[in-house]
Structures are given as structure tokens and as C-alpha cells.
Amino acid sequence: MAKIRSHKIRSAILKEYNHCCAACGCADREALAIDHVVPQALGGSDELDNLQVLCVVCNSQIKGKVQTPRLDPRQPIWDCRKWKKGRMELRAMINGMKG
């Protein structure tokens, strides 16, 4: 999980992403994490254009990647059965990046 020290930045990115995962639409606030598009370990900043909101499941699928695409905000999905489709699409996109 990203170490965002600024409460203002954390609040702004959560608001921009409608308090839901950009990949699957998960709206479980306890499961949300802030993700760096360019990881901090590779010099990624805490600027808003380098951050996105992902749930812990989607975030775990991208770990170890050099850089992830910045996803557009989604509308929250409250039915957890519908999250699977978004997660499968994210996984397919990540697998396509490996080539």
C-alpha cells in the first residue's frame, strides 16, 4: 500500500476515484488502497497524476510490475459478485503488457 503522508492528497485521490477501485468498482472502503502508477521505489511521486485507487485484490495483481497504466475513475459497484468482471479485465490487460 502506498505511503501517502498527506491527508489532503489521500482525500483528493479517493474523491477523484469516487471512493472505489478503478479496476473493478469495489466500493468496500476498508479494501481500498492508493496505488502509485510509477512505484515509489522507481522514483514515483505522490502527485495526483501518479496515483490511483485500487482495492487490495486488484492492487495485488499488479505488484512487481515496473509501471502500471493509470486507470480512469469508475462508478462504485456495491454488488461484490460484479467485481469479478473488472478484475478479470485488469488481469487480461496486465498479461497483455508482458509481451
Q: Which three cell numbers mark 55? A: 482495492
Q: Which three cell numbers mark 53? A: 485507487
Residue 22 has what pLDDT? 95
Q: How confident is the model at residue 20 (pLDDT cuts 50, 70, 90)?
A: very high
All domains in the chain, ordered by first residue: 7-97 (1.10.30)
28-86 pLDDT per residue, tens: 989 999 999 988 888 888 899 999 999 999 988 877 666 778 899 999 988 888 888 88
Residue 53 has what pLDDT? 95
Answer yes or no: is pLDDT of 99 > 60.
no
